[in-house]
Structure 1
Amino acid sequence: MDLVTLCMLFYLLPVTVPQTTLPQSPALQSVSIGSTVRMKCHTDWYATGGVHWYKQKVRGNLHFVYTVSTYSTPAGRFSGEVNDKSTVYTLVVHNVQRNDSGVYFCAGRKLFLDPFIFGNGSQLLITGPPNVILLSPPRQEMFSMETLPLMCLVSNVISNNFPIDWNISTWDAEGWTDSVAMDSTGVYSIRSHIRVPAEAWKYGAVCTCSVQISSTAIRNSESISYQKESQHIDCSLMLYGSTLPMISLVMMLIVVGGCIYGNCGLGNRNTEKESTDFQTRDSNQETSYAPLKFKEDPIL
């Protein structure tokens, strides 16, 4: 093989070996709701008709999102940017929401008759503060248990290996994780369990589970205490039990007082009426005398 043939092979190599994927950047980014994100597709050549962007959710199909070209205009929250050499096509998403999470792929081609070449993907995670829920058995079942099982459910986290901390009053405790699930947006939900001795629980132990996504983030936690809840219920029952007799006594006094007042008033009204009638008969009474005719006795 002469030198000329070898040079021709190296010249034809980029043509005979097609490009398999387009590099994308960044490979992964995690942002909060309301942010603006940019994902770049590096073609190194002018893409005829622009670069098309698709989104794939977890275990889902590709859905068309937007086409980035030198003549594209914004469509809702999506827009595009193209560098001066028309070799980098950037998808811009404004005011991202939770349903924007997914893996984004770009696709472009040099000529209209060429097949599309897809990118290697850019994963976008939209996160917020983790949600913490602490669950305990029903209260009526606690008295028959020697140890109380507690479960801490943490959702909206971006890692499937997220530490969950347990604290029982003043001492740290270790729980165990038995379930990790990922939803369609790419975020995880983690369940952690712990068992607390019933005696410690009944004597007012405060059980807390907490998570912290970073050293600078605020720790999210949830606590539960048997003593505080029982005191609240007992106080409510005592207040209700002590108030009910007082209300009943006041109602009885009102009824009895009304009855007494009604009888006295009726008696006074009857007495006054009788007195008035008597006086009226005395003042209006007249003495009438029958006319008598006398005849003279002839003997007299």
Structure 2
Amino acid sequence: MIFAEYLVLSSLVLGVKLFLYQTQQIQFVEVGDTAKIHCSSKENLEGGSKMFWYLRREGETPTCIKRCLDDQNVSKFTCKHETHGSTLEIRNIQKSDSGIYYCAFRYSSYLLFGNGSRLIVGDSYTNSSWVMLLVPFPHGIQATETVNLACVIHGVSSPVHVSWNVSGDLQEQGLTRSVKAKDGSLTLINHISVPRDTWASGKIFTCEVKFNSSGNSVKKSARYPEVHSSRCESQMVRFAVAIFLAVLMVYLSLAWIAAIPVQPSAKLLKQDCHDGFCANNMQFA
């Protein structure tokens, strides 16, 4: 959603009608296979000579991994061109190649970016993985217009696919932030904001996490609770929820610091690419 807004803004500023589309929102690939990520446009992409590909791994800044003009050099990454499209092929893919891939087109001194495709390589699940759904306590949302729900995925080795549904209706994907532990494992926090009335309507909110391509997933569900507990029980529940929310705030604070999102329009200072790789010398606003 943020990418779409920036793309519209950058197009208006630059006076162009070029939009890049990446329809593969999520792709699971086994280690050692070849992944293909497609980017298309209604406009002519000029043979792909002005196309670039960027990769953003969890908790890292985006890096230019391929300049399609250099495709005569044999490398791990290969560009395949059509008049209105460009496909990035990644051979002998490894778990370290997991992340979000963005196509980009050079227009004047700017880059216009696609909306991104998430690539998950292998199985992200580990022996220490668990999923928890955090929801607000009823007595704490009367003064707010919206409520936040968070799906915490702890101890994974690489990104996962998170989706939300409300009583069976698929919702937009939430915003994900990540924290990397000293052992290299990731804790991911995916959260959504919904109107207070929607949460209080009694509908069931479900967070589904997919770790690999096998189809197995973990689901955590919750609904607005009807409170019939005693005063003592109510205080205990509030205390427990307060602890959960405190932990969530710490994770979110760390994640916002650790994760730096890519901007979909960037000033092109230099673009030095050798043997199929580009120097990370883009200045992002």
TM-score (norm 2): 0.40
Choose 1 or 2 for highest CA Rg: 1
TM-score (norm 1): 0.38
- Structure having the higher helix fraction is 1
